[in-house]
Amino acid sequence: MPNALLSVHDVRTVFYAAEGAAVAVDGVSLSIARGETLAVVGESGCGKTVLGLSILGLAPPPGKVASGRIVFDGADLLTLSQDELRRVRGNRISMIFQEPMTSLNPVLRVGEQIAEAIRLHRNKSRREALDEAGRMLELVGVSDTARRLAGYPHELSGGQRQRVMIAMALSLSPDLLIADEPTTALDVTIQKQILDLMLGLATAKGTAILLITHNLGVVAETCDTAAVMYSGQVVEYADVASLFANPLHPYTAGLIRSLPRPGDRTRLSPIPGTVPSLTRLPAGCRFHPRCPHVFDACRVTPPPMFRMASGRTVRCWLHAAAALETSP
């Protein structure tokens, strides 16, 4: 992938625990071009959050990136020193989390927190950084910025806190923004405001977004491409229009069929069973115990990623015959 801003190659993040090793991210590859919006979508425990943290070198202990390459603008992030990585984080890649209250320091004024990154990475004076923080707050639609800069996070509503996080994340015009469930804790009318704001600013600044979410509706409405994760692996990777029009993996199809739609009263078609534990994965394909199309090969041999003529990739034996090539 020649023009990729970020490319992740076969990354494995392993958690070593008493019960054995749990491979939370197991051989994930993906790439994001400049200005692209990529969704990583999946249910709890699929490894999407650990993947986002692994990219930033922030996999929580005892988790560790055991193998793979994470190439950002030509440099392998996994080979950088802590100092070098710190210069990338916040400056060229920033991250937004689900619950802004846990990412904001409750005893620091809002203005100081936004200004901190500007001072650290841009060598500006405190005054200049605070002015810049005020401009960022205006940009993200927070009114009465002077009062907000001098105030504390608890004085803000959930939506305003997430606006502050976006202001912090975008204040240094990063090339890549990793947003982990940025609107999950917010009401639906506020969610729409925040998504519109985040995408609008990213488009204006040419920032690429890696959006981590469980919400297929959010994926459909905001992203260019999507990687669907299940049990630590990417099982399908496609442009968003094709993914929803014609899901190739039975898990993706099952997720879409599970969704209730307003006004549609017909019985839902859930995926039977539950996600397997990472320390007791089924043999063969990890989805086979829940799959409506399971056949003999699925129970024995883990499927590789099959590349289809359309350029889409899918980890499912159903597509073996039509595939052009395979990768692990």
Site of interaction with other proteins (CB under 8 A):
43-44, 157-160, 187-193, 196, 214-222, 240-241, 244-245, 254-256, 258-265, 267-272, 274-275
For residues 241 and 317, is the Cβ–Cβ distance under 8 A? no
> Which is closer to other proteins, CB of 123 or CB of 189?
189
Q: What is the DSSP letter of 197?
A: H
- Counts for the chain of helices (H) and strands (E), in that order: 12, 13
Spatial distance between the Cα atoms of 172 and 190, rounded to a whole number of angstroms: 25
> Which is closer to other proteins, CB of 253 or CB of 308?
253
Spatial distance between the Cα atoms of 278 and 295, rounded to a whole number of angstroms: 23
In the structure encoding, which two tokens stand for residue 182, read together?
A: 């940025």
- Kindly state the smallest distance separating residue 77's Cβ from other proteins, in Å: 30
> Which is closer to other proteins, CB of 91 or CB of 193?
193
- Kindly state the smallest distance separating residue 41's Cβ from other proteins, in Å: 10
CA atoms within 13 A on the CB side of 296: 0
For residues 297 and 317, is the Cβ–Cβ distance under 8 A? yes
Cβ neighbours for 137, distance < 8 A, ≥ 6 positions apart: 110, 114, 145, 148, 149, 163, 164, 167
In the structure encoding, which two tokens stand for residue 56, read together?
A: 């930033």
Tokens 């015959």 sit at which residue?
321
Would you call 147 helix, strand, or coil by DSSP? helix
In the structure encoding, which two tokens stand for residue 152, read together?
A: 């504390």
For residues 151 and 110, is the Cβ–Cβ distance under 8 A? yes
- Kindly state the smallest distance separating residue 225's Cβ from other proteins, in Å: 11
Spatial distance between the Cα atoms of 242 and 248, rounded to a whole number of angstroms: 9
> Which is closer to other proteins, CB of 89 or CB of 163?
163
- Kindly state the smallest distance separating residue 168's Cβ from other proteins, in Å: 20
Q: Which long-range contacts (CB under 8 A, 24 or more apart) does 256-259 make?
A: 256/216, 259/216, 259/217
- Kindly state the smallest distance separating residue 306's Cβ from other proteins, in Å: 23
> Which is closer to other proteins, CB of 25 or CB of 240?
240
> Which is closer to other proteins, CB of 162 or CB of 171?
162
Nearest to 48 by CA among 223, 281, 210: 210
> Which is closer to other proteins, CB of 223 or CB of 314?
223
> Which is closer to other proteins, CB of 85 or CB of 256?
256
